[in-house]
Amino acid sequence: MPLDLTSPPAERAGQRLLLGLLGALAVVVAAVPLALLVRTDQSSLLALDLRTTAAAEDAVTGSGGLLLAAQATTLLGDPLLMTVLSAALALALWRTGRTRLALFVLAARVGAMVLSTGLKLVVDRARPGFEDPVALAFGGSFPSGHALGSASFWTMLALVAVHRWHRLWRLLGAALGIAVAVAASRVLLGVHYLSDVVGGFLVGAGWTALCAAVFTAWWVEQPHPERGTS
């Protein structure tokens, strides 16, 4: 359903607050246990990861078009690209007086980077290995930085865009669709296991949703001249 801009500001904020709390809950009940399972090398999860990786390798090896599609799609989750775009968007919002939105953008992006790096160090999982890899990546395998970053970035972009286009669920659907495509590309390229991208997706989307909840609460509690554009 669209975000109803004819409803009172507190009611609209309540919708975003609920969305944020649900995202945070997804991290607590799904991403954290998954990280623990990966960290302890749980056998059934590892077996699923290995089967999925083998199937992805076979699919890419047998289809040059699928490989090209994966290589192109993964660019939508490039960390440098998302960082540059986030900085540019925050600057543009700040220059137009939308300070809180600018801070939301920065918090979502910086937090995603910190979470990705920190979790990789804590879990310390090796990446998949192939005799003839189609792509190379460095650093820890869990969580996928591309999956985490894209879920956070594109969800954040959708929440910023809703201030202009007022179609919350459509924008979120498109954002999550892009993030899922990026996550799948990382498995197809053989640089991550399935659990890596699932964990990254949940953490990234959950983090941005939590940021949205915090900034929405701040928006409601403190009167300011931007409220008419919330």
99 lies in some domain = yes
Q: Whole-angstrom Cα distance, residue 37 to residue 45?
A: 7
Q: How many CB atoms lie within 10 A of CB 114?
A: 11
pTM of the predicted structure, to 2 decimals: 0.82
1 lies in some domain = no
Q: Could you tell me if 104 and 211 are in contact, meaning their C-beta atoms sit under 8 angstroms apart?
A: yes
23 lies in some domain = yes
> What is the total count of domains within the chain?
1
pLDDT at site 16: 63
Q: At 90, which helix (H) or strand (E)?
A: helix 79-95
DSSP string, 154-177: HHHHHHHHHHHH--HHHHHHHHHH
pLDDT at site 144: 94
181 lies in some domain = yes
- The residue segments making up the domain with residue 146 are 9-229
149 lies in some domain = yes
pLDDT at site 2: 36
Provide the CATH number for the domain around residue 89.
1.20.144
Q: Which residues contact 135 (CB under 8 A, 6 or more apart)?
A: 71, 189, 190, 191
206 lies in some domain = yes
137 lies in some domain = yes
pLDDT at site 117: 94
Q: Whole-angstrom Cα distance, residue 180 to residue 18?
A: 22
Cα atoms in the 13 Å half-sphere on the side-chain side of 203: 31
21 lies in some domain = yes
pLDDT at site 69: 94
Rounded mean pLDDT for each run of 10 residues along the chain, 230 residues in total: 41 64 71 80 85 89 87 95 96 91 94 93 87 77 94 93 76 92 94 93 90 71 46
Q: Which residues contact 67 (CB under 8 A, 6 or more apart)?
A: 60, 134, 188
Report the phi/psi class of residue 216: left, alpha or beta, with left for phi > 0 and alpha for psi in -120 to 50.
Answer: alpha
